[in-house]
Amino acid sequence: MRAAAITGKGAVEIVDRPQPHGLVDLVVVQILVAPMCTEFKSRQAGDVSDSIGHEAAGVVVDAGSSTRVAVGDRVVVMPGYACGTCRYCIAGEHIHCPFQRDVLAESEQPYGTATYAEYVLKPDWLLVPVPDDVSLVHASAACCLLGPSFNASQRMNVAASDTLLVAGCGPVGLGAIINGVTRNATVLALEVNPWRADLARQLGATVFDPTAPDIVDQVLDATDGWGVTASIETSGVPSNPALLASVSARRAGLSIVAWGLDITLPPIVPLGLDVHGVWHWKHQTDGWRMIETIRKASGLIDTAITHRFPLDRVSEAMDVQDSGRCGKVLLFPTEVQDL
């Protein structure tokens, strides 16, 4: 099968790799939609790998011995290879599982865990069924476009009575805006990139420049002085968590989605802040809620998806991501008309 590989600094190529086969609970999904995430940063850094990508939607083509899925089922592929039996997996928090399976070693196969590829090998319980009335393009938003901020919105109970502030309008931030708008909240956003700020406005957010010297006053004025009742940090800018806290109402929620940096907050006890570290969502318990969100947000998802490429143009797709002038970018490993 064809797959993408980072072969050096700034270089990504299409390579031939063995197609996986199903075994016991490990099933093979033909990838029809592969949303692109932060893999372009690995290309920038020259992190050589022939196994890239963690988002996908497609069709089961080899069900192994699974009793959960069957050949022909349309599914969204959840990230990771969680064990399925530890306390985190049982509680629905598979993303925090410390006992990731080595499915290639288990099945004695050389390849099959990448999603920038035509096929992927996955434990059956990490597949989310897609109803017939939901397109696989829209369903693929259940991965990193909507997933992290969906969980943040769940944990903060974002509703129509809330004012949600989103820091950063990259793809994850755009997904946070979609989740907020879909829940009928008033949505504000912080973004310095004019292209992405305009896209955020198209999705229904009121956008502010976080570098403005009076940014705190601007946000407070937009809430009649009360402050926002929920906020989601997606940008990775070190100063943003403190900024979000400073414009929060008392007893507000603040969710950190961006990875990799220490954060600094003002004293949170006087504010009564609930601070959440959020990664992915709980598909076992909230799958139906995600599907309902996707149904309601289908038009917004179409707006957030700004570029589509076949797999063999993955280098061009990463060039677009490098530019910052994009929302969510999709790869299509297989030419299929009906998704």
- pLDDT of residue 335 exceeding 90: no
**Of 301, 281, 288, nearest to 131 (Cα)?**
288
Of all helices (H) and strands (E), which one includes residue 156? helix 147-156
Which tens digits make up the pLDDT trace of 71-97?
999 999 999 999 999 999 999 999 999
Which tens digits make up the pLDDT trace of 173-212?
999 999 999 999 999 999 999 999 999 999 999 999 999 9
Which tens digits make up the pLDDT trace of 276-289?
999 999 999 999 99
Q: Which of the four pLDDT bands, split at 50, 70 and 90, describes residue 339?
A: confident
Which tens digits make up the pLDDT trace of 252-310?
999 999 987 889 999 999 999 999 999 999 999 999 999 999 999 999 999 999 999 99
Which tens digits make up the pLDDT trace of 108-123?
999 999 999 999 999 9
Which tens digits make up the pLDDT trace of 3-24?
999 999 999 999 999 999 999 9
Neighbours of 269 (CB within 10 A): 6
Domains of the chain (ranges; CATH) run 2-145+297-332 (3.90.180.10), 147-277 (3.40.50.720)
Question: Taking the model in full, what pTM does it have?
Answer: 0.96
**Of 16, 93, 83, nearest to 283 (Cα)?**
93
Identify the three-state secondary structure at position 155: helix
Percentage helix, strand, coil, to 5, in the chain? 30, 25, 40
Predicted confidence at residue 146, as pLDDT, reads 98
Per DSSP, which regions of 9-71 are E strands? Answer: 11-16, 26-35, 56-62
